[in-house]
Amino acid sequence: MLTIKNLHARVEQKNILNGLDLTIQPGEVHAIMGPNGAGKSTLGYVLSGREGYEVLDGEVLLQGENLLELDIEERARHGLFLAFQYPVEIPGVSNMEFMKESVNTMRQQRGEEPLSAAEFLKKAKAACQQVKLPLDFLKRGVNEGFSGGEKKRNEIMQMILLEPSLCILDESDSGLDVDALQVVANGVNSQRDGKRSFVVITHYQRLLDYIEPDFVHILANGKVVKSGDASLAKQIEKEGYAFLGLDSSEEAKA
Amino acid sequence: MSAWLQQVLHRGQAISDWLSPVRRQALQALNDTTWPGRRTEQWKYTSLSAVEDLALATGQSQSQPEVETIDGIDSLDLLFVDGELRTDLTTLNLPAGLHVSQLEQADALHQVAATSLYAQIKPKRHLFGLVNDVLAQNILFIRIEQDCHIQQPIRIISHSSDGHESHQRVLVQLGNKAKASIIEQTQGQSNSLSTGFTEFDLGEHAQLEHYRLLMHTKQAIYFGGCHFCLHDQARLDSTLIGYGSQLSRTDVDVIHNGEHANAKLNAVYLLAEGEHFDLHTTIEHAKPNGTTNENVRGIVGDKANAVFNGRIHIHRDAQKTLAELNNRNLLLSRRGQINTKPELEIYADDVQCAHGATVAEIEEEALYYLRSRGISRSQALIMLNFGFIQELINQMPNQQLAHWLAPQLRARFKEMEVR
């Protein structure tokens, strides 16, 4: 599904990713943990193609396609989805209009007919209910006036509607209470079908109680320093990152 | 002088009717005019080279265009095809207080009324306005008696067809306290040249709801004007929607000729690839206590060219004037161009006046967000900015008309997408 080899990237003249390797097979769930400043969010942005994130070296293949050569929108059309940690508010563009445009673009990419307004509405309502957002959120401006938790749920709703092949969740658990956390986790789990892959970026083991990962990677100083199974996350929860012998200044900085 | 203008003068000399004195003055003015070039301030960013040697048919047109009705609006439709009035005025079922006539056949009373309007509101500086003075036939005169409120919108549709040149003129007179709604709509996509000028006289306390929908596009060449004279307490609410075409130029003049008059002007232009659109507006505050609120917004596609010049002139006596002018633009591509110039000229000392022009800064973060969901950059730009166009559409007093326009504007946006 996704192969990252020796990825180096920088933001504003600062090297953040320093030779990151990661391979993800279809259907797998990979959790990425690590101290603040390790490059977790940067990884998501670099993969999505955000401007200002400069790739210095390395290779990224998504389903055999050279991801780094594609525009932001083309990456999305090739099945990449990034659930943002801080989704932006866009007053004046309704959630509904936004998602309909987006869903139909994806359908077009897959050679499918665009959905009619009625067909789309039906799907959108179902997705909205699944993430427990009131239906009038569809009519509201994108994320406009949404609480932190509502924004996260809105991201998951988009993920459900867009049917991507690789989902990257950037701290989708941060700032959520237990109920909201379950909604997000259930949303993700409902999309696990043995083919779709997930990268779950998180600080805490907590989310991984609900979304069980196949692999856990620890990211520090821009590369994967340790990989393991779900038990690695539990170990970190207990002992922190100290046992990895990392420079503690990275953590202190946050 | 251009070969085309020479032709105009030649044809103009052959026209003889009771408007001849006015026509002759215009002819004289045209004779004294030099053909505008790059150094002519009024035409600095709009080249007339496509017109210079143009030779199109000026006779009767056989064309039978289809005219779309507007859902939910039972409008009184008046159809012009290549300058010729096709609607039989004698068959119209007009509400009391509304008179629609063709000047050539008007009775003496209407002729007198019309003479006080024809080329009297429209300033003489408009080159193509003068051409229209000389050549316009089938002049339409719409008169609303004082105190009459005409509920039914009056819609004037002007169609231009392939290979034709036409000149169309409308005069509108609203008596004191009269009320009306007028929709002027152009259509046509093929090689043609048309001029369309309308003069509006709004009596004391009169209220006019006005729409000019410039929906001609592609090869059509167009020169038009809306010229309003506002008397005491008159209210004008005007919305102009413009698509671009090979060459499209519109001049709007609002003259506050009475106190406490109120003018609201909204304009939107949406230009697809390679199109040109030029809007010049002039607001003359000649009397005190007038209000003008002008909002002009445009989106300019790839290799398209928009020109906006908005002038507000506050005369020495026009104390307590409130005037605001705002122009906002969005360029969809680096190869698009906008030349915008707000001009304030203020000779009174107790006025409130504001103006501004912006070429939109793209909200990068929102753009990134939309693109990360597979939406193309230009489509995302359009979505982000449909709102600012929609805002003006939502202000249209006739919401049925807004409703009819919305899907067409969306279709227009699709055409504007930079691929």
DSSP A1: -
Q: What is the ipTM of this complex?
A: 0.94
- Phi and psi dihedrals of A218, rounded to 5? -105, 125
Query: What's the 3-state SS for chain B?
Result: CCHHHHHHHHHHHCCCCCCHHHHHHHHHHHHCCCCCCCCCHHHCCCCCHHHHCCCCECCCCCCCCCCCCCCCCCCEEEEEECCEECCCHHHCCCCCCEEEEEHHHCCHHHHHHHHCCCCCCCCCCCHHHHHHHHHCEEEEEEEECCCCECCCCEEEEEECCCCEEEEEEEEEEECCCCEEEEEEEEECCCCEEEEEEEEEEECCCCEEEEEEEECCCCCEEEEEEEEEEECCCCEEEEEEEEECECEEEEEEEEEECCCCCEEEEEEEEEECCCCEEEEEEEEEECCCCCEEEEEEEEEECCCCEEEEEEEEEECCCCCCCEEEEEEEEEECCCCCEEEEEEEEEECCCCCEEEEEEEECCCCHHHHHHHHCCCCCHHHHHHHHHHHHHHHHHHCCCCHHHHHHHHHHHHHHHHHHCCC
Q: Which residue of A has its CA nearest to B369?
A: A88
Distances (CA, A) of A112 to A103, A118, B353: 11, 16, 54
Burial class (CB in 10 A: 0-12, 13-18, 19+), B113: middle
Indicate the SS3 state at residue A36: coil
Instruction: Name the residue facing B372 among A76, A99, A106 (closest C-beta).
Output: A76
Radius of gyration of chain A (CA): 18
- Distance, in angstroms, between A179 CA and closest chain B CA? 27
Contact criterion met (CB below 8 Å) for B362 and B34: no
Q: Evaluate whether B374 touches A76 at the Cβ level (below 8 Å).
A: yes
Region of poorest pLDDT, from B64-73, B129-138, B306-315:
B64-73
- Chain B CA closest to residue A46: B372
- Give the dihedral sign, CA A203/A206/A211/A214: positive
pLDDT tens-digit readout, A12-71: 999 999 999 999 999 999 999 998 889 999 999 999 999 999 999 999 999 999 999 999
- CB–CB of B374 and A82 under 8 A? no
| Bridge partner list, B106 | none
Q: How confident is the model at residue B110 (pLDDT cuts 50, 70, 90)?
A: confident
Name the E strands within chain A.
2-11, 14-24, 29-33, 53-62, 65-66, 80-83, 90-94, 141-142, 166-170, 197-201, 215-220, 223-228
pLDDT at A247 over 80: no
Cβ-proximal residues to B6 (8 Å cutoff; 6+ apart), any chain: none
If 0-12 CB within 10 Å is exposed, 13-18 middle and 19+ buried, where does residue B413 land? buried
Check residue B334 and give its pLDDT. 86
Q: Do B384 and A106 touch (CB under 8 A)?
A: no
Is the pLDDT at A254 greater than 50? The verdict is no
Residues A164, A167, A172, A177: is their CA dihedral positive or negative?
positive
Calpha distance A66→A60 (Å, rounded)? 6
- Range B266-277 average pLDDT: 97
Q: What is the Cα–Cα distance from B303 to B418, expressed in whole angstroms?
A: 10
For residue range B133-154, what is the model confidence (pLDDT) as tens digits?
999 999 999 999 999 999 999 9
Cα-based angle A40, A152, A116 (whole degrees, multiple of 5): 120
Q: Does the structure show a pLDDT above 60 at A252?
A: no
In tens, the pLDDT along B375-407 reads 998 888 878 877 778 889 989 999 999 999 988
B360 close contact with A: CB closer than 8 A? no
Chain B contact set for A87 (CB, 8 A): 369
- Contact (Cβ atoms closer than 8 angstroms) between residue A188 and residue A131: no
Cβ of B387 and A102 within 8 Å?
no
Angle at alpha carbon of residue B155, lines to B103 and B263, rounded to 5°: 90
Say how far apart CA B149 and CA B92 lie, in whole Å: 18
In this prediction, residues A175-190 reach a mean pLDDT of 90
> CA torsion B239→B241→B246→B248, rounded to 10°?
0
Return d(Cα B245, Cα B193) in angstroms, integer. 11
Closest CA to A5 of A45, A60, A54, A55: A60
User: A99-158: per-residue pLDDT in tens?
Assistant: 999 999 999 999 999 999 999 999 999 999 999 999 999 989 899 999 999 999 999 999
Question: Tell me, what's the pLDDT at B419?
Answer: 65
The whole-number average pLDDT for the span B62-81 is: 93
Cβ separation A162–B372 shorter than 8 A: no
pTM above 0.80, yes or no: no
Contact assessment for residue A156 and residue A187, using Cβ atoms and an 8 Å cutoff: yes
The continuous run of DSSP H or E covering A96 comes out as helix A95-109
At residue B301, does pLDDT exceed 60? yes
Q: Tokens standing for B44?
A: 């600095």
Q: Do A98 and B370 touch (CB under 8 A)?
A: yes
pLDDT digits (tens, 9 = 90+) for A209-227: 999 999 999 999 999 999 9
**How far does the CA of residue A74 sit from the closest CA of chain B (Å)?**
6
Kindly state the average pLDDT of the residues B10-20.
91
Six-digit token string for B5? 């203008």
What value does the mean pLDDT of chain B take?
94
Please indicate whether, in this complex, the C-beta atoms of B371 and A76 are within 8 angstroms of each other: yes
CB pairs under 8 A between A and B: 69
On the question of pLDDT at B291 being above 70, the answer is yes
Give Cα B300 distance to the centre of its chain.
Answer: 19
Q: Which residues of A touch B (CB under 8 A)?
A: 48-51, 71-73, 75-77, 82, 84, 87-88, 90-93, 97-99, 101-102, 105-106, 109, 142, 158, 162
* Record: contact B374-A105, CB cut-off 8 A: yes
3-state secondary structure of A104: helix
pLDDT at B249: 98
Q: How far is CA B286 from the centre of its chain?
A: 22
**Cβ of B370 under 8 Å from any chain A Cβ?**
yes
3-state secondary structure labels for all residues of A166-183:
EEEEECCCCCCCHHHHHH
Using N-to-C axis directions, what is the helix angle for B377-394 and A95-109, rounded to 10°? 150
Residue B379: the pLDDT is 85
Judge contact between B268 and B242, C-beta under 8 A: yes
Q: Phi/psi of residue B132, each to 5°?
A: -65, -40
Q: Which residues contact B185 (CB under 8 A, 6 or more apart)?
A: B155, B156, B157, B158, B211, B212, B213, B215
- The tokens for B321 are 């004037």
Q: What is the pLDDT of residues B359-376, one digit of tens each?
A: 875 678 999 999 999 999
8 Å CB contact between A75 and A88: no
CA distances to A21, B230, B238, B291 from B284, in Å? 69, 10, 16, 11
Q: Do B373 and A48 touch (CB under 8 A)?
A: no
**Cα A44 versus chain centre, distance:** 7
As a whole number, mean pLDDT of residues A177-203 equals 92
Backbone angles phi, psi at B105, to 5 degrees: -110, 10
3-state SS of chain A: helix, strand, coil percent to 5? 40, 30, 30
Whether B39 has a pLDDT exceeding 50, the answer reads: yes
Closest CB to A51 among B368, B376, B379: B368
User: Which residue(s) pair with B331 in the sheet?
Assistant: B300
* Average pLDDT for chain A: 91
